Every structure is written in C-alpha cells, then in structure tokens.
Amino acid sequence: MEKLKKFLKALFIFLFFNSLYAENRIALSSSILELNIGNQIYILPDEKKEYDIQNIITKKSDFQKSTRERPNFGYTDTSYWIYIPLSNTENHINKFLLNYSYPLMDYIDYYLVREGKIIQEVHTGDMTPFSNRIIEHRNFLFPIELEAYENIDIFMKFKTSGSIEIPLYIISYKRFIEGDEIMALFDDSVKMKESLKEVNQKISRLGIEKIDIGIGLNYGKLVLGTVGSQLRLDTTVVGDTVNTASRIQQLTRKFDVPILLTEEVIKNIKNKDKFYLRRLQSIKVKGKDEPVKLYECFNTDEDRLKEKKLLLLPRYEEAVQLYTEKKYLEAYSLFRELYQENPEDKVLQIWMEYLETYVPS
C-alpha cells in the first residue's frame, strides 16, 4: 500500500510538471503578426562547451527562464543554449518565421525538434557563408510550420567573439513581406526582379509562399549623409526625390505592376529600347503640388502576360494618346476593347475606371 502511495505521488508530480511545461509554452495563432519572445525563452550557459544537441535535449529542466525582452550577456567566451517551446493553439497549420535580429553573431546552431527527434538542423552565423542562411536576409530567419495543435521545441546555440545579444521574434509571413522596404541608389530594378524569381524558386522548396516586391523609381537631386547620435548612426538619403520614389513604390500595389517609374527616369534612360514601357495616368502624390507622370516597366512580367501586353502595345499607346487629346469617350472605348482581350491586365481596368468620370453615363 505504501509503495502504491509513493507511486501515485510520483505520478502526480510528473503530471504536474508536465502540465506546467505545457502552460509555459509560447502560444501561437494566426492572429500574431509579430511577437517578441525574449522573456519567454529558456537559457542555459555552456561555459565548458560540453553540451551537444543530443544531451541538451535531455536537460530542459536545467534551463532558466529569461526575464528580459532582449537578453544580453555582454562580451563573453561562454556559449549559450536557448530553448524555445512552441505550441499551435489552432486546429489548422500555422506558418511563421523565427527572426534573430542581431547580425553580428559569429556562430548559430539551430535545431527543430519534434517529439524528441531532430527534424531540422542549420549551422549559420556571421562567420559562415551567406548561402548557409535558409533565407538570404540581413537577419537570421528560420521558417517554422506547426500542424494543428502541435507542440515543437527549438534549440539554438550561440557562440561569438563579441557581445552576445539574443533579440528573438516570431513574425508572420505577412508582416515580413509587407514590412520590409529597401531604399537603394543606382539600382538595376529589372535585375532585382529577375533575382527574386530565383529566390522564390528556392523558398518554394521549403513550402514558403512566394515573395513579391514593388519597385518605385525616381530621378533627381537628393542629400546623402550620416545621421543620428553617438549611440546610433545611420547612412541615409533625404529629399523630395526620395519621398516621391517612396510614394510611387506604394502605388505598385494599386496598379498591380512590378516597377513604376516617373517621367524624370524615362528622360534619363540611355538604353530605352531594352525596356518595355507603358505610360500610365498622372497621379497626385502627397507632398507634390503637380501630378506625377507615371510609367510601367513590364520586362519582368510572366511571359504570357508580357507577350499579350507587347501585342496590344500599339493600340494601348493610341488609347493613351486619345486621353492626352481629351478624347475621353474614344479613349474609354479603346481601353475597354483592350481589356476584353486581356482581362488579366489590371492597368486597363484602372484606366477604364478613371475615364468613367469623364464619360457621360
């Protein structure tokens, strides 16, 4: 009887601590766009560098929960292991990215563990080839996919000759794609879009949805310099030229086109014959008194759509000329014909909607 009591007591303690672990898991759902998990992870210093992934999996109880949103251990020779217990709280698959946003970490070992088995192993860091990164980005990004109500464990080992900081975030693909913008000078946008096709081919093998970008190009004078304080300095560009480029980049979503250019860019293109260009409407953008004349570059469209646009380009230019001459009804009729032949071309639809304000109902 006494042995039975001891057994039941031990079983109760085991179930209690298992329950406690479950409650301390980081709960993930589709409503999460970005989550700082710095104070929800577990940390284990490895001063003697004696642990590997096989024995670290058995030492969960030795980890201590972090109390800071951005753990920082200063300059140290000690390696640090991080344990991240995750739980999908919904009855469908959820996909996220684990974002480690300290680009100076020399070495990072990443292990994704399901039911005690290592499913994925990645060795990366600032001292390793850039191609070692699953996603080629300035931060270290690790895709995470959780089945319905699934629990997974992630273990990471950090080692560096400098300072150890651990800023960790769970972000949705939507936040990652919509939140990343680049300001570039002297850039070849067509090559950027072509390179993105290669990137999408790589990440599609990982089950990640494709990434798309819109590029806005403007030409003019600007101010380039270093701004900030002693605590943080950054090189940036400012000025009306920069602001306009940013505004038209945002319009790529409206027109559903990959690259938008201003008339100033068109005037300064040397090899214009290399590019497939179409005139769009003039748009009033914030910060500008006069409307900005816009052009589309469709070199990087899918082949089928590109061929259709090229085939209809002479008639498209005729319709734009009719609009310029204020022959709105004739322009509207021609754009409608073009749209009937190529309904995938959203630009034609936008032209029609724009001209409807000038055409009697």
**Which residues belong to CATH 3.30.70 in the chain?**
181-355
Residue 220 has what DSSP assignment? S
Concatenated DSSP letters of 35-80: EE-TTTSEEEEETT----HHHHGGGGGG-EE--SSS-EEEE-S-EE
Using CA atoms, how far apart are residues 162 and 123, in angstroms rounded to an integer?
Answer: 18
> What is the structure's pLDDT at 20?
38
pTM (two decimals): 0.50
CATH number of 181-355: 3.30.70
Helix locations, the chain, DSSP H? 2-23, 53-56, 173-179, 189-204, 240-255, 263-267, 303-324, 328-341, 346-355
- At a CB cut-off of 8 Å and minimum separation 6, what does 152 contact? 85, 86, 112, 113, 114, 144, 146
DSSP secondary structure letter of residue 237 = E
In the prediction, which pLDDT does 342 show?
Answer: 95
Angle between helices 328-341 and 303-324 (to 10 degrees): 170
Strand partners, 107: 159
CATH class of 2-177: mainly beta
Q: Given this model, what pLDDT does residue 312 score? A: 96
Give the Cα separation of 5 and 11 in Å (integer).
10
Q: What is the pLDDT of residue 131?
A: 77
Strand, coil or helix: what is 318? helix
pLDDT at 278: 95
Return averaged pLDDT per consecutive 10 residues of the chain, 361 residues in all. Answer: 53 41 78 92 92 92 91 90 96 93 89 94 90 82 93 96 89 67 58 74 73 82 66 64 82 86 87 89 79 90 92 96 94 95 93 85 65
Q: Can you give the pLDDT at residue 113?
A: 96
- Boundaries of CATH 2.60.40.2380 in the chain? 2-177
DSSP class of 132 = G
